[in-house]
Structure 1
Amino acid sequence: MELVWLEDLSALAEYGSFVRAAEARHVTQPAFSRRVRSLENWMGVELFVRTPQGATLTEAGRQILPSAQEAARHLYRMRNEAQEVAGMAARSLKFAATHSLSFTFFPKWLRSSENAALIEAVQLHSDSMAVCEQMLIHGQVQFLLCHRHPDVPPLLAPDQFISKTVGEDVLVPLASTSTRFGTTPAALPYLAYTHESGLGRIVAHRLRGKEDYLHLKPLFSSHLAAVLMSMALESKGVAWLPKSLTEQEVLEGRLVRALDESWDIPLEIHLTRPKAQLSQAAEAFWGEAGGGGGLALGGRAG
C-alpha cells in the first residue's frame, strides 16, 4: 500500500476521467492507470467501472472512499505531529488557495491576522479549486482559501470539514471598452471558466438556463480568472471577473460593465479546514481568523 494510491483513488473519483485525474496528479496517464490498478490489486476488488466515457466508482469503491481519504489525512497529520515534536514545524501553516485569491486577498489578509507575528513559516499552494480541494482532502494542507456562494456548496464532505467567512468579493461581467458585440445581441462573445474552477461552478449556477437569454457565445475558456481578464482586456469578450482582481483595470477605464448590476454575483471568501484536530499553531490561527465561528459546509453562510 502506498499513500499516492489513496490520493489517486480520490482524484479519479473526483474527475471521473483517467486523463484529467492524471493531469491533476502531475503524472502520465499510463503511470496513473498502473497505480490505480495496483490499488485494486492490493484491495482484491475492482474499485472503478471503466467505460469509454470515463470511470465511475463501484459499490466497493464508494464504500471505501471516505475511509481512504481519512487514512491519507491521518498519515499527513502523523507526519506533522512528528515534525512538531522535533521542533521543525511548531508554528508553520500550510494553505491551498485559488489563483485569484493568492494574488489579491491572501497577502493582505495574512498580514492583518492578529497572530500572524507568531507564525514562523507559511506555505501557500496556489492552484485551481479542484486541485486545492484535493490537497485539503488528502491532508497536504491545513486550510483552503476560496470563493464561495451560499447556493453552490463545495465538493467536500460536510461531516469532515468546517468553514468560516473571512471576506467578501463579487463577480462582475466586464469587457474592454473596445469590445465589439455586434449590431444585434445574438453575438455576445463569452469568456468562460472551465470545470476545474470554483468560480466556474458559481457562474455556471447563476447562468443556468439563461445563456440563450443573454445570447452568450462561448469563445474561450480557462480555469484562471487572470487569463480571462487578459482576454477581456484584449477585447475578446465578456467575463465574470472578481472585483478584487480587477479594481485597477476598472479604475483606469480599461474594463467596463458589459451587463447591469443585476448580473453581479456576490461572493464570500471562505477559510475551510478539517474537523479533526490540527496543530497547536493551526488551531490558534483558526481561532483568530476573521469571520466568527465555523460554518457547516452544507449550510448557508451568514
Structure 2
Amino acid sequence: MDIKWLKDLLHVVQLGSFSRAAETRHVTQSALSRRIQSLEIWAGSELLDRSHHPITLTPQGEDFIQTAREIVAMSEEAQSRIAASARTADYEVHLACLHTLALAFVPKLVADLTERIGPFGISITADARTVEEYLLSLTNGSSDMFLCYSHPSVQFDIDQEKFPSLVIGEDAMVPYCGPQDAESYIGPANQSEIPYLKYADSTFMAHVVRSIISANDFGYRLVPKYRASLAESLMTAAEKRLGLCWVPHSLIGEGAPGPEMIPDEWMSPMSIRIFRSVENDNPVVKRIWAALSDPV
C-alpha cells in the first residue's frame, strides 16, 4: 500500500470529484482513478460510491476513512521530525526545485544573489518528486524555499498567505526535435504522423504540454513512442531522431531557434516562481527574499 493512495482517497472525499481531486494532486484523472482502484484492491472492498454525485463513501469506506486520515497525519509528522533532524549546519539554505531548473537557472540565481547579499551555503534538492511533495517540504521544514515553473494549466493547492511566492524569471515550453525533422514535424504544409516523445503523466511538464496539445488541432498527428520523467531524456531521444518533444526553451541553449521562430500554437510561456513559508525565520532566507523582491 502506498501512502499516496490514501492521500488520493482523502482528496476525492473532500472534493467529491475525481477530476477536481486529480487537479489538486497534479495527476491525470485516469492515473488517480487507477491509484484509488489499487487502494480498493488492497483494502478488499470498494471504498467510494461512484454512483453518487458528488462521490460519497461506501459503508466500508466510512469505516476506513478515519484510519486513512490518521495514517497520513502520522506519516507527515514522522517525515517532518526526520527532515528537521537531517538538516545540518553545513548549509544555511535548503532549496527544493524541479530538476530542469537545477541544471542552469539555479547556479546563475545563486551567483547573482551572492553578488548582491554576499556568500552563503546552499543545498539543492532536485529529486523526482510530485509538486505536492515539494510543497510539503516547505511545511515540514526540510526545505526553506521551493523553485518551480508556473503555468495556468497547473494550479497549486497552496495557501498563498502561508506560502507567498515571487515570479523571478520567464521561460517557454517549446517543441524540440532533430534539425532534420523540424520542417516535417512543424512545417505548415505537412500533416503526417509525428512520433511523440512524452512526459510521464504525473509530471508538471506533462500538464503544460497537454494544455498546448488540447488547445490546438495537431494532437491527432502525435503518436506516443517514448516516455520519460525528465526533459533531458526526451531531448536526447529527440536528438537521436526518435521524435518530437516539448522542453523549456532555456534548456536548449545558445543557437537554438528562439520562441519567436516557432508558431504560437506550438508553444506556451511559463513563469519561474519561488515559494517560501512565512513561518521560516532563517535570516539568510529573509535576505534572499528581500533581494528577490527588489530586483536590480
Q: TM-score range by the shorter chain?
A: 0.5 to 0.7
* Conservation of the 8 A alpha-carbon contact between 1:144 and 1:272: yes
C-alpha distance in 2 between matches for 1:116 and 1:217? 49
8 Å CA contact 1:179–1:235 kept in 2: the answer is: yes
- Tell me by how many angstroms 1:122 deviates: 1.0
SS at match of 1:50: helix
Q: Does 209-218 or 264-273 show the bigger shift? A: 209-218
Contact 1:73 1:139 in 2 (8 A): no
Quick one: which of 218, 224, 230 aligns to 1:218?
224
CA contact (8 A) 2:80 2:142 kept: no
- Partner residue, 1:296: none
* Partner of residue 140, structure 1: 142
How far residue 155 of structure 1 moved from its aligned partner, in angstroms, is 4.5
> Residues 198 and 234 from structure 1, CA distance in 2 versus in 1: closer, same or farther, beyond 3 angstroms?
same
Please provide the CA RMSD for this pair. Answer: 3.9
Give distance in 2, aligned partners of 1:153 and 1:93.
26
Q: Does 1:264 align with 2:267?
A: yes
State how far apart, in whole Å, the 1-side matches of 2:281 and 2:137 are. 15
- Distance apart, 1:161 and its partner CA: 2.2
TM (norm. structure 1) is 0.65
The equivalent residue for 1:117 is: 118
Task: Tell me how far apart the structure 2 counterparts of residues 68 and 273 of structure 1 sit (CA, whole Å).
Answer: 24
The Cα of 1:171 is off from its aligned counterpart by 0.8
Residues 205 and 184 from structure 1, CA distance in 2 versus in 1: closer, same or farther, beyond 3 angstroms? closer
What's the offset of the Cα at 1:13? 4.4
- The answer to whether 1:195 aligns with 2:201 is yes
Query: How many Å apart are 1:205 and its aligned residue?
Result: 2.7
CA contact (8 A) 2:6 2:39 kept: no
CA change 1:217–1:112 in 2 (3 A) is: same
Give the conservation status (yes or no) of the 8 Å contact 1:166–1:291: no
State the Cα distance separating 1:143 from its structure 2 match: 1.1
Counterpart residue type for residue 278 of structure 1: D
SS in 1 for 2:164: strand
Name 1:101's counterpart in structure 2: 101
Counterparts of 1:291 and 1:222 in 2: how far apart (Å)?
A: 37
Unpaired segments ≥5 residues, structure 1: 1-7, 17-47, 293-302
Report which of the two has the higher share of strand.
1
1: CA distance, partners of 2:281 / 2:203: 27
Corresponding letter in the other structure for 2:145: F
**Paired residue total:** 242
Q: Hey, what does 1:185 align to over in structure 2?
A: 191
Q: Which amino acid aligns with 1:263?
A: W
Distance in 2, matches of 1:128 and 1:212, equals 30
1:10-21 equivalent positions in 2, closer than 5 A: 11-13=4-6
Match in the other structure for 2:287: 284
CA contact (8 A) 1:170 1:267 kept: yes
CA gap 1:237/1:74 in 2 versus in 1, 3 angstroms: closer
Question: Among residues 152, 167, 170, which one is paired with 2:169 in the alignment?
Answer: 167
Determine which of 223, 244, 248 is the counterpart of 1:242.
248
The one-letter code of the counterpart of 1:286 is W
Q: Secondary structure at the match of 1:170?
A: strand
- Percent sequence identity over aligned pairs: 20
With normalisation by structure 2, the TM-score equals 0.66
- Structure 2: distance between partners of 1:213 and 1:53: 36
Preserved contact between residue 128 and residue 198 of structure 1 (Cα < 8 Å): no
